Amino acid sequence: MNHAICRDDIICPVVDGFPQDLCGGQCYSSLNHTCDNGTICPRAPQEGPYLIRVLTWYGDMDELAIDACGGAFFAGRSSSSCTWCPYQQFPETCSAAVNITVLEGTENMHVIVPGGQRFYINALGALAYTRAHSGIIPENSIVGEIQAFQEGGFIYAAGGGWYACPASEPGVYQIFNRLEGVVLDAACIGINIAVNSLEGGLFAWQYQ
């Protein structure tokens, strides 16, 4: 669902619930650009760990945290992320770990588990991640091509935008990208995804 907004007598689009801003008489997306004295400039890539959340004007999803669970990503889960930590082996580390979903770079989950975990877009368009102790990523998945911009957006430029699709639990949405050739459910809602920086630290041992 796309609309428009008037900014200083110039019509700028509202794309998937997020309005573009005005800079030097031109509309631009603040998800991946900034405005410097009337000049549109590329936004800097995110450095270090970050959270992702829903960004939209529509419905009640705005600002919902996006959490990892069961190999996929969801917005609106009441129980937050699905994490696990070996308390008996590492009690101090596990006590310091936090049950939130934290990403880093273009493909890494910010985890402690040896070997790490990676996120990607699978062939059906779902934002997904690898299991701990397994680097297996399904064929035709998109890896390392999602860009995270500093206090900006989480963007796969070659895709058709992010969508929140109703999950089995009421009020919970699974996150997809509308890839070419993939048909999403009619109930899916176009959204944007925002990036919020975090200071380094211990977050999750691994995501289940």
Res 199: pLDDT = 82
Q: HSE of 38 in the Cβ direction (CA atoms, 13 Å)?
A: 2
Res 2: pLDDT = 58
Residue 51 Cα to chain centre, angstroms:
8
Domain residue spans in the chain?
1-43, 45-207
DSSP-derived secondary structure letter, 204: B
**What would the pLDDT profile of 71-84 be if each residue is shown by its tens digit?**
999 999 877 679 99
For the chain, which ranges sit under pLDDT 70? 1-2, 80, 200
Res 78: pLDDT = 77
Res 203: pLDDT = 85
* pTM for the structure as a whole: 0.92
Dist CA 67 CA 65 (whole Å): 6
Name, in order, each residue with C-beta under 8 angstroms of 30's C-beta and a sequence gap of 6 or more.
20, 21, 43, 152
Res 102: pLDDT = 96
Q: HSE of 36 in the Cβ direction (CA atoms, 13 Å)?
A: 6
**What would the pLDDT profile of 104-119 be if each residue is shown by its tens digit?**
999 999 999 999 999 9
Res 1: pLDDT = 53
Res 157: pLDDT = 94
Mean pLDDT of the chain: 93
Dist CA 54 CA 127 (whole Å): 14
- Characterise 31 by phi-psi region: left (phi > 0), alpha (psi -120 to 50), beta (else): alpha
